[in-house]
């Protein structure tokens, strides 16, 4: 996968609201648990139907969440994807493509569970984001 180490991640996470509540020391420990991976524009990061063990936090760049030809969402710095399969163990619900050079901090599912148990304050802003996505999906249902 070619991770480039955590120093990058801890710096970039400083601007990510989900980790705002953590002390710098904790943020560093959390950052160390994941790995930074870079993707060229056009690269498929996650494929619909595939097995999913990675949670992705976008440190830089832009991705599109697609189902067939329909673009469900465009996500950028500070946003996450891949949480659905990590949470329920089911196949990936959509494709996620890098549409610009993109850097993600990637955490495997077992570490994701541990992260939320150790720092439950991260979960509430994530739930808020999920509710926002659900509302948005309700207002533009897939045809």
Q: Which residues bind ligand CMP (CB under 6 A)?
A: 46, 52, 65, 72-73, 81-85, 92-94, 96, 133, 137
Minimum distance from residue 82 beta carbon to ligand CMP (Å)? 4
CB 92 within 8 A of CB 50: yes
CB nearer to ligand CMP: give 70 or 118: 70
CB nearer to ligand CMP: give 42 or 49: 49
Minimum distance from residue 16 beta carbon to ligand CMP (Å)? 16
CB nearer to ligand CMP: give 41 or 51: 51
Phi, psi of 83 (to 5 degrees): -70, -30
Angle, helices 24-33 vs 109-118, to 10°: value is 160
CB nearer to ligand CMP: give 1 or 25: 1
Minimum distance from residue 37 beta carbon to ligand CMP (Å)? 15
Minimum distance from residue 25 beta carbon to ligand CMP (Å)? 29
DSSP string, 5-68: -SHHHHHHHTT-GGGTTS-HHHHHHHHHHSEEEEE-TT-EEE-TTS---EEEEEEESEEEEEET
* 108: CB partners within 8 A, 6+ apart: 53, 54, 55
């Amino acid at each position: 996968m070619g991770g480039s180490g955590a120093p990058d991640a801890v710096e970039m996470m400083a601007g990510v609201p989900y980790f705002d509540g953590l002390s710098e020391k904790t943020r560093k420990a959390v950052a160390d648990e994941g790995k930074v991976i870079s993707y060229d524009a056009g690269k498929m990061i996650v494929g619909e139907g595939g097995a999913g063990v990675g949670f992705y936090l976008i440190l830089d760049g832009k991705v599109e969440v697609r189902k067939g030809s329909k673009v469900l969402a465009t996500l950028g710095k500070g946003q996450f994807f891949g949480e659905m399969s990590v949470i329920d163990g089911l196949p990936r619900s959509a494709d996620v493509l890098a549409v610009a050079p993109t850097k993600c901090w990637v955490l495997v599912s077992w570490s994701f569970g541990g992260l939320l148990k150790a720092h439950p304050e991260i979960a509430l802003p994530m739930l808020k984001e999920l509710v926002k996505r659900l509302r948005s999906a309700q207002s533009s249902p897939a045809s």
